[in-house]
Each structure stands twice: as structure tokens, then as C-alpha cells.
Amino acid sequence: MLVGRLGGRAFGALAEVVSVTHTFRRTILALVGGVLLTGCNTMRPPRDSGSADPESEVAAVRTAWMTQPCSGVSGGQDASFPALRSRAESVAFYNPRHASSRYLAALMAYQDNDRTVAVHHLDDLLQLDPAHAEAATMRARTA
């Protein structure tokens, strides 16, 4: 009877050690997984080399847009209005706090008669900079 009690106590202590070790391993695994996932989430590279500098990308899109013929017919796919609008919206998407890219994307959507997207960009821009006069004027025009 005495051996049974001692064996039971020893087994209980062993079960506690195994339980603590198992819980400790799970905790360490969860911490390592969390650190790895956080690193992957915050280290997103830019989509292309041009989007690393949003000011130069906006200037390039604006220049290409202003040099297009008035008829809207262009010689190549890169200079077409939908491609330019896509580039402007891409810069606005990857740089959400950049006011010039937001305004350019809104202006191009407005010219393309896509009022919903224009209003979305204008609302985001006015939330960033409530004193942006051109954005406020265009937002009033679309209302």
C-alpha cells in the first residue's frame, strides 16, 4: 500500500513536469510564430522601383497625362488613359498618406466619369488634409 502511494505521488509529479514542459513548448512556439508573422507583415517591399518615391511617380503620370492628345487616342498602351489612371491609383494605394497621389487619382477618376471612386479618394484626402482647397472644391462639385 505504501508503494502504491509513493508511486502515485511520483507519477503525479512527473505528470506535472511533463504538463509544464508541454505548455512551455507551446508558448515558445506561439511567440516565435508571432515574431515571424509580424516581420513578414511589416517588411512588405514596394511594388516596383518607381513607387518608392511617390512624388516622382505622380510627376511622371501627370506629365504623361498632360502630353496626351485631346482626342484620347494614343500610340501605345503605356500612354493610354486607363494605364495612367491605374498607375495613379497604384501610387495612391501604396502611399495612402500622400496627398498629391490621392488628388491625382481623384482627378483622373472624375474625368473618367467614375464619381464613386473620385469621391472615395477625395474623402480620404480631406480626412488627411481638411484645408486642401482643390479637393474641397471638387468634392462639392461631385456632391
Residues contacting 129, CB < 8 A, separation 6+: 99, 135
pLDDT in tens, 68-98: 876 544 444 345 888 899 999 999 999 989 9
At 53 the pLDDT is 85
Higher local confidence (pLDDT), 105 or 43: 105
Q: Do 36 and 55 fall within a single domain?
A: no
Mean pLDDT for 95-107 is 92
pLDDT in tens, 43-77: 555 555 445 788 999 999 999 888 887 654 444 43
Range of the structural domain that residue 66 is part of: 50-142
Q: Do 69 and 131 fall within a single domain?
A: yes
Residues contacting 73, CB < 8 A, separation 6+: none
Q: Do 58 and 128 fall within a single domain?
A: yes
- What integer best gives the mean pLDDT of the chain? 77
Q: Do 67 and 136 fall within a single domain?
A: yes
- The pTM of this model reads 0.59
Mean pLDDT for 13-25 is 64
CA dihedral 9→14→19→20, nearest 10 degrees, is 100
Q: Do 55 and 96 fall within a single domain?
A: yes
Q: Do 78 and 23 fall within a single domain?
A: no
